[in-house]
Amino acid sequence: ETQLLLQRMPGPENGRKWKVAAPTVAQIPRLYRQLGYGPLANYLPPAFFEIRFLELALWQWLALFVLVLLASAIGWIGTVLTLRVFGPIVRRAAPVLGDQLLTVLVGPLRLTLGLTAFFLGSGLHNLSISAHQFFGEAEKTSIIVVLAWIVVRLADLFAVVATDRLRGAGRS
């Protein structure tokens, strides 16, 4: 944590104005090492840091695009691995509904794993305050969407099971 110190200095026409104090200015190199562009500044041309759209630099847009691709891959691969590990357990625990339950949960699981990877990775991009707030709200919204999707898919599954049982009993 860094304190921002200000001091009043003589200004134009016998007035006074505020300026950043010398101890704060002395901390700029340390702050730049901690919060600056890091090693990217050594490899990318200046345009990647100068061109901005919606308060994000070009390098941040490109990094977010790569992050979306990586998060998608993590979602797919994580879902396959999760189903390989837990699929047999679910099928043994619920022999009648096991396969249907796994089918219903594949989409929400994939989205959850991908979004988790994306939101964890987006914290590494030195986003502006407003962009950070946007992604925070997007994270909350995506949690609601995933939970609603799971509820709707489970309701569909139970409706199909109830319909099948009623038909089997001759009461459809």
Is residue 171 over pLDDT 80?
A: no
* 18 bridge partner residues: 8
Q: What pLDDT shows up at residue 116? A: 92
- Distance between CA atoms of 64 and 138, rounded to whole angstroms? 14
Q: What number of residues does the chain have?
A: 172
**Cβ count near 114 (within 10 Å):** 21
Q: For residue 62, count other CB atoms closer than 10 A to its CB.
A: 13
Residue 72 has pLDDT above 90, yes or no: yes
Say if residue 62's pLDDT is above 80. Answer: yes
- Running DSSP on this structure, what letter comes out for residue 96? T
d(CA 6, CA 18): 6
User: How much is the average pLDDT of 95-102?
Assistant: 81
Q: Is the pLDDT of residue 117 over 90?
A: yes
> At which residue do the structure tokens 């003589």 appear?
10
Burial class, 154, CB count within 10 angstroms (exposed 0-12 / middle 13-18 / buried 19+):
middle
Whether 136 shows a pLDDT value over 80: the answer reads yes
> How do 6-10 and 56-57 pair as beta strands?
unpaired
- Whole-angstrom Cα distance, residue 164 to residue 87? 23
Better-scored residue on pLDDT, 22 or 12: 22
Q: Give mean pLDDT, residues 68-89.
A: 93
Nearest to 21 by CA among 33, 31, 7: 7
Question: In a 10 Å sphere around its CB, with 0-12 CB exposed, 13-18 middle and 19+ buried, how is residue 85 labelled?
Answer: exposed
Helix (H, G, I), strand (E, B) or coil at 154: helix
